[in-house]
Amino acid sequence: MTSPYQETVDEPPEPGAPARRTPLWRGQGPALAVVAVGGAAGASARYGAALLWPARTGGFPWTTFGVNVVGCFVIGVFMVLITEVWTPHPLVRPFFGTGVLGGFTTFSTYAVDIQRLMDEGHPRTALAYLAATLFAALAAVCLAVMLTRRAAARWSAGREPS
Amino acid sequence: MNWVLVIVGGMVGAPLRYLTDHAVRSRHDSAFPWGTFVVNVVGCLVLGALTGAATAGAASSHLQLLLGTGLCGALTTYSTFSYETLRLAESGARLHAAVNVVASVTAGLGAAFAGVAAAQAVWA
């Protein structure tokens, strides 16, 4: 999912050329550029959220929790739209899915916040945060996929002549 | 200045994730999302080390914004992790989905703790 552009951008290997020698970024220029721009936008949005709602020392990291759950919900909506409802430009998925949403959500801050809470003597908050993020993130993506599929089915049924 | 550091870090982190996933997929034809797993664990290790270094006074707040908030934040992802877990479960690979969740959280936390401990051993 993180490199959805590869099928459409990769040129076929030249005859006789060893496939393993092909540089990773070959033919990936446009995708890498939109992933970089999207990643910068997503990371900035996460940083902005952290400035707006700074985490309290030793408290439940609500901002990162919210960022991750919102990002999981949005990716559920987005993936159903671009894989089941319409076929977008091939750069839409790397830009928004891989770049913006991937840059917005974070796994490393999640893990290090748990480590920090444990280290500071808040094991209960750490465990609650660990479980709540996991549960809410998975529930958000499931719910988003389900609701978007239902809305898309209703929308296409409404368009068909009866 | 702070925003520039986050933007630059994000502009490096997200493409690194994209390239890592691409590299892993081109070498291992597996249903298991190894690419996301690898970037998440590596990002946890680096952010752990950075946090340990910052606690010891060896990493400035600017470095934390560039490498932590920007690079590690954009390198790792919760949205793709969740979506890939759902895809595994939907495709019938429920065991793989469960293994992905348990392994990602366990390895990510292990990497974060190891990174902090290593940085503290070096700088403390």
pLDDT tens sequence across A82-140: 999 989 999 999 999 999 999 999 999 999 999 999 999 999 999 999 999 999 999 99
Number of folded domains in chain A?
1
- The answer to whether the CB of A122 falls within 8 A of the CB of B100 is no
A21 found inside a domain? yes
Domain boundaries, given as residue ranges, for chain B: 2-123
The shortest C-alpha distance from B17 to chain A (Å) reads 7
| Greater pLDDT, A5 or A57 | A57
In a domain, A90, yes or no: yes
Structural domain contains residue A1: no
Q: How far is CA A134 from CA A61, A122, B43, B61, B102, in A?
A: 14, 19, 18, 29, 10
pLDDT digits (tens, 9 = 90+) for A31-77: 999 999 999 999 999 999 999 999 888 899 999 999 999 999 999 99
Residues 105-134 of A with CB under 8 A from B: 105-112, 114-116, 119, 130, 133-134
DSSP codes joined into one string, A111-153: HHHHHHHHHTT-HHHHHHHHHHHHHHHHHHHHHHHHHHHHHHH
Q: Is A140 on the interface with B (CB under 8 A)?
A: yes
Interchain CB contact of A70 with B (< 8 Å): no
Tokens of A152: 């898309």
For residue A34, what are the domain limits?
Answer: 6-159
B71 or A3, higher pLDDT: B71
Q: How far is A158 from chain B (nearest CA, A)?
A: 27
Q: Tell me whether residues A43 and B6 touch, CB distance under 8 A.
A: yes
